[in-house]
Amino acid sequence: FQATVKEGVTGVIVNLTVGDRDDPATGAWRAVYTIINGNPGQSFEIHTNPQTNEGMLSVVKPLDYEISAFHTLLIKVENEDPLIPDIAYGPSSTATVQITVEDVNEGPVFHPNPMTVTKQENIPIGSVVLTVNATDPDTLQHQTIRYSVYKDPAGWLEINPTNGTIGTTAILDRESPYVQNNIYTALFLAIDSGNPPATGTGTLHITLEDVNDNVPSLYPTLAKVCDDAKDLRVVVLGASDKDLHPNTDPFKFELSKQSGPEKLWRITKLNNTHAQVILLQNLKKANYNIPISVTDSGKPPLTNNTELKLQVCSCKKSKMDCSATDALHISMTLILLSLFSLFCKSFP
């Protein structure tokens, strides 16, 4: 028997036919096939077709043309039921199956896959990440390979189409939404010069090491207090940082220099991430901006200078009315504009 199969393909490749003059559909007629030689890798299997009694020879593990272009199998067939005693001929028959494997253009393979590398975030644009390596399984065809970017979600990378060197085209950012668990994932293609060309895909995992590139943020940014409050502890402030330890807490909380001879508030640290703002006296109804700086523990440390908006409101019968504070500021603005207008008219 002769059979031809493409490499990389599985399934039935040939049907072996037998003749048996016993009564059909009995154990004396039904055939049992066995591969007795030529199948060391267990790439082939044979089963009986119950309707036709043919032996269906199948490829169950894809064949590789580059390893072997030809296979020769020796198949034995016998009945389910044993022959009666004293028969002159043997209980089984054999046949040879010659199988030819056809070459198929296979895609290049990356080594290893996935590829892993560790880099600091914020490395300079144009930095080399790594050079990938892909080989073509079609060793007898002597094809060339070119590389390209397949999926680069953040648009940070490029690849040399000839030598496979991957470099950066933008700043790598560990805090980017495209980075999951400190790992950035990109996909690359290796395309051979076959006709038609075949493609292999490689996965790159870049583990990004943290650097101190984010200032801490302060929350909340608005606080309210009654103008006649007895408890002058205004608000508990918290700080957070997108970076990792040791570039985050403990945070340092400070008040910027207060204008005027009289100090109106102070800030007290509660723990590594929180501080409390306390008024030193009751204030008149108005909006106040309290300048606060918060500094992380990175090397070098980063500082965020921000403002806490404090609304001093009137409180009557357990109801807080802060509308007057806004009206006060609007009124003061109108007064200043009016004065400025009069000044301009008096001194043209």
- Say how many C-beta atoms besides its own lie within 10 A of residue 213's C-beta: 16
Alpha-carbon distance 223 to 183, whole Å? Answer: 38
- Note the pLDDT of residue 261: 59
> Do 246 and 269 meet the contact criterion of CB atoms below 8 Å apart?
no
Per-residue pLDDT of the chain (348 residues; tens, 9 = 90+): 999 999 999 999 999 999 988 888 788 899 999 999 999 999 999 999 999 999 999 999 999 998 999 999 999 999 988 888 877 677 889 999 999 999 999 999 999 999 999 999 999 999 999 999 999 999 888 899 999 999 999 999 999 999 999 999 999 999 999 999 999 999 999 999 998 999 999 999 999 999 999 999 999 999 999 999 999 999 999 999 999 999 999 999 999 877 655 689 999 999 999 999 999 999 999 999 999 999 999 999 999 999 999 999 999 887 888 885 444 443 344 344 444 454 444 444
pLDDT for 88:
65
User: Given the DSSP bridges, would you call strands 92-102 and 2-6 parallel, antiparallel or unpaired?
Assistant: parallel
DSSP state, residue 140? T
Q: How far apart are CA 140 and CA 106, in angstroms?
A: 12
| Per-residue pLDDT, 115 | 98
pTM: 0.75
Q: Please, are residues 293 and 203 in contact by the beta-carbon 8 Å criterion?
A: no
Q: Which domains does the chain have, with CATH numbers?
A: 2-102 (2.60.40.60), 109-209 (2.60.40.60), 217-315 (2.60.40.60)
List the end-to-end C-alpha distance of the chain, in Å, as a whole number: 113
pLDDT at 82: 86
CB 171 within 8 A of CB 119: no
- How confident is the model at residue 263, as a pLDDT? 84
Residues 6+ away with beta carbon under 8 Å from 261: none
Q: Which residue has the tokens 């016998």?
A: 78
pLDDT of residue 237: 97
Fill in the DSSP letter of residue 226.
E
CA-closest candidate to residue 205, choices 172, 234, 228? 172
CA torsion sign, 209 to 215 to 216 to 220?
negative
